Structure formats: C-alpha cells, structure tokens
Structure 1
Amino acid sequence: MSFDAELAQLPPELRWREWMGRVEAVIFASPVPVTREALGRVVGRDCNLDLIIDDIRAELRGRPYDLVAVAGGWQHRTRQSFTDAIQVAIGLGTTEPKPLSQTEALVLLCIGYFQPITRGELCRFFGKEISRDVIGHLRSLGFIAAGPRSPQPGAPYTYVTTREFLSHFGFNTLGDLPNMEALEDSGLLSKERLLAGEFPLAFMEGDGEVGDLEDFDPEGEA
C-alpha cells in the first residue's frame, strides 16, 4: 500500500492531529535532528510544518523535554534543569568524552566564526602553533571537517564546522553563534585584535579545562 500523506478523507481537525502525531513520532524515533524535507514526506502538501511544530511544543510545555530546532532540523531534548536527575538515575553523561581544553575550545570557536580557515591562519590568529593533534581531536569528535582548499600557495585544506557541531552545542544554524559584540562586551573576545592577528584572551595561558562551551547553549537544552 502507498503511504497516504494527504489524509484527504479525514476532517481538518483529525487530519491536523494525525500530522502532529506523525511528525512527533518521526522526531522521537530519530537519533539525529530530522530535517524539514524528511518531515515533509509524512504530511500533506498544504501542511504548515512550522505551525505543526508550534502546536507540538505547546503541548510539551511543563514537560521535562522539548522539541528544539538544531543543526537544520528538529530533535527532542531534555531540559537542562533535569541533567543532574538523569545522571543520578542512569548515569547518562558520566562517560562523556573529556571536556575540550581551553585551546581546543578557542580553536573551535575561531573556526566557527571564520570558516573556511586554514591551520596556518589559525596559528597566525593565536600567535602560536596550533598542533595537528588539536585539529585531529576536533575532527575525531565530529565537530570540524575538511573544507575547500584555500587559494593560498600550496592550496592547503581549510576547516569548517559540521552539523554535529551545531547539534552538540544546540545551534540550528551558524547564525545562532553568540553575537561577536556581546562576546567583546563580556571580555571573552576582541574582534579588532583577533583580526589583526592577536588573540587577547587572558585565560588562554595553559590548557585548563573550560567544559563543553556552555555559553554555546542558547536553548538551555541538554
């Protein structure tokens, strides 16, 4: 039997509820964010997916999880306030990879803002060598990938962030990165000096841990 996405035989209210159920079920079953294109296969051509998502989220108010826009799609995520309870009950999150070092976190931040960017350009930004091990670790975590070759002599590879980067830190698109001016106001980043080849972050000395870039979580979801 062919799949009936239109459900034309149902009255409008029941059709809408069925579409809502299908969308939520698909997102619930998927281990990765589900794109608009994928969800469009289970609803009618005239269905407004944004309104469907709004109605699902309205029904989830007060629940310990929500439906969030992340990495170009939608995904169910537990609310941050329940992280401790989840860890105590089932240990989820206690075996997470070691948090990024300060250098790794700042390199990832720099790639996020200035991609595509070469390792040589990163070295000039930071005023020190950025090792291949740092790049390799970020690649092994799935946060960055090789981008197009640079037009510079030797055509070195550039690096760009990935959908996994967006998903892990709770961004829908790169446009959700923290505002550059806000970072300057907070003392975390100086745009002018960075673009001039300096990276004036007082806490950059040493490689202490900075966690998982917690400031990169505008949705407040885990």
Structure 2
Amino acid sequence: MTMAGTTTAKARRRQDKDPQYDVLYDRELEDLPPELRWREWMLRVEAVIFASAEPVTRETLARVVGKDCSIDLLIDDLQEELRDRPYELVSVAGGWQHRTRVRFADTIRASTAPTRGGAAALSEFEAMVLMAVGYFQPVTRGELSKIFGKEVSRDVIAALRGAGFISSGPRSPTPGAPYTYVTTKHFLSVFELETLRDLPDIEALEDAGLLSWREMVVEVPEVPSTDLDEDDLVD
C-alpha cells in the first residue's frame, strides 16, 4: 500500500471510530430550502461516484444524504441532467459508475489519451477461460482444463486474478479439495453487468451464431444456474 493509501485508510478508521464525525457532517441540510437541499444532495452523490474507482453502492451514497432521501430519484435526476453529455451514470455490479457513452469510443481511441479504469488486455485463450469461469463457476482449474481439452496453466489463472476478474471460491468437494474460482465485482463492472443473471444465455449466443462453444471445447458440463447475487462473489 502506498503512503497516500495508508494515510487515507487511517483517516477512514479514525472516522469510523469517532462518533463525533457523524455529528459534524451535516447530512440532513435542514437549514436549506427543499430545492437547494435536493440540489446539494445531487452534487454530493455525483461527486462520490465521480471520485470512486469502483461502482458505488446505495449504502455508500446513503452516508452523504438525508435519511429520508430517495437515492433512486437522485440518480434519475442526475441521469436526466447528463442526457446530453458524452458520459452517463450506469448501474453495474450492485452500484453506480460514470461511463463514457459508447458512441464516443472511437473518438477516445483516436485521441490516444490515457484513460482510467481500463480493463486489462487478455489473450484470446485467457478471455475464453474467463468466459468459462463466468458460466460454470465455481469451477476448479482441473475442471477448466477438462472443458478445453488442454491444461489451463497457473499462469492463466494468475493473469485473470491479477486483472481482478476472478478470485478464489469455496473448496471443491472433490478429492484434494482444490480451490474453485469465481468472478468478481470487477468482472461485473467491466462487462457492464448488474448481476450474474445478466450474463447472455449461452444457448442463445450459439443460436445467433455469435459463439461456437461446442467446437472449441471437448466436453461442456451442464451449465449451473447463474442466479448468484453479488454477495455470492468472492472479492
């Protein structure tokens, strides 16, 4: 952890331990008229989302607005306000995040300006392994190797872990109790998914000719339900 990160973490711990911090921070803004109070809450919510490197949850946003404030209505107003801007507020990974609108992607690439929060570049095989984890999780490295008919190396797993796309899941009940792997909230964020339920249906992709999964793997196990919430993910 960097010195700046250490300082921030210490400050946050002091705030959590100091009951006076909540008292000093005015969430309710009762001295403001309703219109100005709502506007200030909108600005606070946008500031937090803009500053965060990850999608911001409802619980986090609730810390900076009044207890009776509707986060959903605030977000609706912010999204309307940004309607004509090149960026928007999107709901991903159980929270909200600023995203550049898709139609400006070519413009941003043409500018060659450095961007923040970009996804790590994956090889074609790494991307395929990540897709397999997404659909068949929790899954072991050995099971992934059986799916592809060749070894999925520890280096491939390390690359996906290093990029923040997967993490260790529960131990498998199979002999040796190897670790399984599951996708993370970062995976949801990068692929603009609210939950794993939003993964495209694998059979629909094949029917549309967008994926020839059975041509690329030796044996496709039965696809388990992807009805996992973000609480089921291992960070």
TM-score range, shorter chain: 0.7 to 0.9
Higher helix fraction: Structure 1 or Structure 2? 2
Shift of the 145–98 alpha-carbon distance from structure 1 to 2, 3 Å rule, reads closer
Q: RMSD of the alignment, in Å?
A: 2.7
CA distance in 1, matches of 2:105, 2:209: 29
Measured after TM superposition, the shift of residue 122 of structure 1 is: 1.1
- 1:38 — aligned with what? 60
Measured after TM superposition, the shift of residue 198 of structure 1 is: 3.8
- 2:113 — aligned with what? 91
> TM-score, normalised to structure 1's length?
0.79
- 1:68 — aligned with what? 90
CA distance in 1, matches of 2:210, 2:187: 20
Shift of the 60–97 alpha-carbon distance from structure 1 to 2, 3 Å rule, reads closer
> TM-score, normalised to structure 2's length?
0.75
Shift of the 149–86 alpha-carbon distance from structure 1 to 2, 3 Å rule, reads same
- 1:4 — aligned with what? 26
Count of equivalent residues = 198
- 1:53 — aligned with what? 75
- 1:122 — aligned with what? 144
Q: Name the % identity.
A: 63
Q: Of 177, 181, 191, which residue of structure 2 is paired with 1:159?
A: 181
CA distance in 1, matches of 2:70, 2:54: 22
- 1:78 — aligned with what? 100
Report if aligned partners of 2:172, 2:178 keep a CA contact under 8 Å in 1: yes
Unaligned runs of 5+ in 2: 1-22, 222-235
Which string of whole-angstrom CA distances, capped at 9 and with x for unpartnered residues, describes residues 159-216 of structure 1? 01112211222222212211233212223457899999249xxxxxxxxxxxxxxxxx
Shift of the 98–193 alpha-carbon distance from structure 1 to 2, 3 Å rule, reads closer
State the one-letter code of the partner of 2:28: E
Unaligned runs of 5+ in 1: 200-222
